Structure 1
Amino acid sequence: MGRSQELSEFKRGTVIGWHLSNESIREISLLLNIHWSTVSGIITKWKQLGTTATQPQSGRPPKMAES
C-alpha cells in the first residue's frame, strides 16, 4: 500500500488561518474535507515548531521511487 500525498503549503496555511479565527478542529476538517487527525497534527506541529513547512526526515530514502 502506497503512502498518501502530503498537503500543500497553502492548505496547511489555511488550516492555521481557520485555527487562529477560533474554529474547532472538527469544523476545520469539515470545511476543508481533511481528516480531523491531520488537522490536529498540523496545528500541533505549528504550535511546537512555529512553521508548517515539511521537516527533513530521518532514514535513507527509497532506492526506487514508486510511480
Structure 2
Amino acid sequence: MQTASTNICERMGRSQELSEFKRGTVIGCYLCNKSTREISLLLNIPQSTVSGIITKWKQLGTAVNQPQSGRPRKMTERGQRMLKRTVCRSCQLSAESIAKDLQTSCGLQISTAVRREIHEMGFHC
C-alpha cells in the first residue's frame, strides 16, 4: 500500500495520456459492472480519470482521445532550453538578435517575436 505523501506526489502535475489498452480495460471493467472506485483501485488510476473515460465513452461511443484544438507550439523544449541559455549568457541582446542566433544555431524558423517566450520564462527584454 502506498503512503499518502507518495500518492499525492504522483498525482501532482500533468501526466501522460493513458494508452488505448488501459482505456479499453476501463471500459471492459465498467461493462462488467465494476464501480469507478473498484476500477480505480484495480488499475491504479485516479477515480476522476476513470469516470472521465466512462463519461466520454457514453457520450461519444469511443474511448479514443480526440485531436487537440489550437495551433501547435513552434518552439520545442530543446529550443526553449537554448533560448534560456542564450538569454542567461548575454542578457543585453535584443530580441531580434536572439532570434537570429537561435535560427543559426539550432535551425529553428522562428520570427523575431521571441519576446513572448522570453517573458514566459521570467526574463524581460
The reply to whether TM is greater than 0.5 is yes
In the other structure, the counterpart of 1:15 is: 26
Instruction: Decide which of 32, 50, 59 is 2:61's aligned counterpart.
Output: 50
Please report the TM-score for the alignment, with normalisation by the length of structure 1. 0.89
In the other structure, the counterpart of 1:6 is: 17
- The answer to whether 1:60 aligns with 2:71 is yes
The superposition leaves residues 6-50 of structure 1 with CA deviations (integer Å, 9 ceiling, x where unpaired) of 000000000000000000000000000000000000000000000
Q: Structure 1 or 2: larger helix share?
A: 2
Name which one, 1 or 2, has greater alpha-carbon Rg.
2
Q: Which runs of 5+ in 1 are unaligned?
A: none
CA distance in 1, matches of 2:16, 2:49: 12
CA distance in 2, matches of 1:17, 1:62: 36
Q: 1:33 to 1:8 in 2, by over 3 A?
A: same
Question: Identity of counterpart residues, as a percentage?
Answer: 80
Q: 1:36 to 1:59 in 2, by over 3 A?
A: same
Please report the TM-score for the alignment, with normalisation by the length of structure 2. 0.49
Greater RCO between the two (CA within 8 Å, min separation 6)? 1
- What is the letter of the counterpart of residue 32 of structure 2? S
Q: 1:37 to 1:66 in 2, by over 3 A?
A: farther
- What is the letter of the counterpart of residue 6 of structure 1? E
Q: Tell me how many residue pairs correspond in the alignment.
A: 66
Shift of 1:66: 3.7
